[in-house]
Amino acid sequence: MNTSDFTSTILASLRNLRQVASVDLHTEGPVVKGRPLFDGGIFLAFYFNQITATQAFALIKGTDRIWGIDFDTFRGWHLHPVEKPQDHVTIQAQDIPTIIEKLGNVIATLTTK
Distances (CA, A) of 21 to 17, 41, 64, 75, 90: 10, 11, 20, 32, 31
Helix (H) or strand (E) holding 11: helix 3-14
pLDDT reported for residue 19 = 81
Locate the domains of the chain by residue range. Answer: 3-111
pTM: 0.92
C-alpha dihedral (46, 73, 52, 44), degrees to nearest 10: 0
pLDDT reported for residue 16 = 85
Given a contact cutoff of 8 angstroms between Cβ atoms, the answer to whether 58 and 69 are in contact is no
pLDDT reported for residue 20 = 87
Which mean pLDDT values do the consecutive 10-residue runs of the chain (113 residues) have?
95 88 93 92 94 96 94 94 95 96 89 63
